[in-house]
A and B are shown apart, each in its own frame.
Chain A
Amino acid sequence: MDFFSTLYYRTKQVWKSTKMYLAIAGPGLVVMIADNDAGGITTYAATGAQYGYSLIWFLLLLIPIAYYVQEMTVRLGAVTKRGHAEAIFESFGAFWGWFSLLDLMIVDWLTLVTEFVGMTAALKIFGVPSWLTVAGVIGLMGIIILNGRYWTWEKIALGFCLLNLVYVPAAFMVNPSVNEIIGKGLIPNLPGGLSNDLFFLLMANIGTTIAPWMLFFQQSSVVDKGLHEKDIKMGKADTLFGAIITVFVAIFIVVVTGTLLKGVPIDDASTAARMLMQMNHLTGTLLAIGLFDAGLLGAICISLASSWAFGEIFGWAHSLNTNVKQAPWFYASYFITLITAGIVPLIPGAPLVLITLFVQVIAVTLLPAALVFLILLLNDKKTMGEYVNTPTQNWITGGIVVGIIILSTMYGVTALFPNLLK
């Protein structure tokens, strides 16, 4: 009898926790999976094609890194009830506030252009003209955001997150050798030594896992969802779950290209999808669908990150729980960002390579600043109270931030001066 009552009690407890998690889940999952955007898919496809399974161990290391950085935004958002932009303005003054806001605006817009480039390239494989893709995406995103409820928007975004899992069946379809994945992928090694190409690819993987817009997005999302201090534990679990999924999706992409395209130079994911279609039509098709979905998910989140930040600073109504009449400037800034970025890939001869380079360099200028502000904000005992960073958290996050600053700076500098490390 004792056994059955314990079992009943435990089951009830687990069910209660699951229900609580499902109610709070969203910001962490969406931001982490949206992190696998069009640029991210290209990076993972190139990693597999260039080095096979050899760098899977490195991707696994990105789980704690992504988690520890992003969970700080959960605590900050739930405690202060303010977005990241507002927190920087208020705590560090107008100079650093404007710097962060303008940098975010530029880097978000440029990243959004790269999402549209990815989406148009993906659908071009199926014969869809670029203008139709851009118009369709803007229309679809308009419908998603204009429903007037955060909850609905989040569930639709989670639906697109699910589509991100197409890489899982794709990886099984190419029949990879599990022994080889474990043998070559899980033992830390640097294939061929730390060459310039490998260094650049490792940093690209870090850069695609921790992006400045993610900090702004998740904190604003936590605030818009209305999470409180009591929800922090579940919010952190949501972030950890998201970090695990995003890295596992990345690994499945590496497995696909590492199995079929090893040794083939890959410049973008759509080229990889086309090549894969010639070898295994269904796998290539899934990669193309996944690329479109990744670009769409990235676009959904990135455009919102900017609109939320503007709303916080300019004092406009800035919630997805408001309609166009209540928050006209919030929706106007959203659509202006979206439409102007969508037009760029349609311009004949647009400098898309230069834009991609700019995204890397400008993101590098914002990332260290955003991370430094994040750590300083999380150490403000007066604001954070009992949720202030513990010494252990400071050692972990401090180490991660110093490492990211060094690597991202080197990434930015090598993007500007490609021959520097040769």
Chain B
Amino acid sequence: MKIIRQFVSKISEINERYAKPKVEMSPLIKLSLTGLRIYLLVLVLLLIYKFITVLPVGK
């Protein structure tokens, strides 16, 4: 229990430490990160679709 609590507090500490991105958010960087979010979202949706279509076959 103590280990879990320590782990959670460590995660919070890391989140706090890196809460603010250090790099200057120029329009190009913002665009790149938005593009990356969309790209990852599409891939995750494809993965979910794949699993939904594969699961009934597995049964």
Binding site for B on A (CB under 8 A): 89-94, 96-97, 99, 313-314, 361, 364-365, 368-369, 372, 376-377, 380, 382, 405, 409, 412-413, 416-417
Contact = CB atoms under 8 A, between A and B. Distances in A.
A99 B40 CA distance: 11
Contact of B23 (A99, A314, A376, A412): A376
Given A314-B14, A369-B36, A372-B36, A94 B43 contact: no
Interface in B7-28: 10, 14-15, 18-24
Contact of A364 (B14, B15, B43): B43
Interface residues of A, dominant DSSP: helix
**Interface range, B side:** 20 to 34
Contacts, number: 51
Contacts of B10: 314
Contacts of B32: 372, 376
Given A365-B40, A417-B50, A90 B14 contact: no
Interface residues of B, dominant DSSP: helix
Contact of B19 (A94, A314, A361, A416): A94
Given A369-B36, A416-B50, A382 B24 contact: yes
Top-7 shortest CB links A-B: A93-B21, A91-B23, A94-B18, A89-B18, A94-B15, A416-B50, A92-B21
Contacts of B33: 92, 96
B4 to A, nearest CB: 15
17 contacts: A89-B18, A91-B22, A91-B23, A93-B20, A94-B14, A94-B15, A96-B33, A99-B40, A313-B14, A314-B10, A361-B47, A365-B40, A369-B40, A377-B23, A380-B24, A412-B43, A416-B47
A382 B23 CA distance: 9
Q: Which of B18, B35, B50 is most buried by chain A, counting CB atoms within 10 A of its CB?
A: B18
A90 B43 contact: no
Nearest to B35: A372
Contacts of A377: 23
A413 B14 CA distance: 34
A368 B21 contact: no
Given A93-B18, A361-B47, A368 B24 contact: no
A12 to B, nearest CB: 44
Contact of B39 (A361, A368, A380): A368
Contacts of A361: 47
Contacts of B47: 361, 416
A90 B35 CA distance: 20
B16 to A, nearest CB: 8
Q: Which of B20, B39, B43, B46 is most buried by chain A, counting CB atoms within 10 A of its CB?
A: B43
Given A93-B18, A93-B21, A369-B36, 10 more contacts: A91-B22, A92-B21, A94-B14, A94-B18, A97-B18, A361-B47, A365-B40, A380-B24, A409-B39, A416-B46
Contacts of A368: 36, 39
A200 B34 CA distance: 29
Given A94-B14, A94-B15, A313-B14, A376 B29 contact: yes
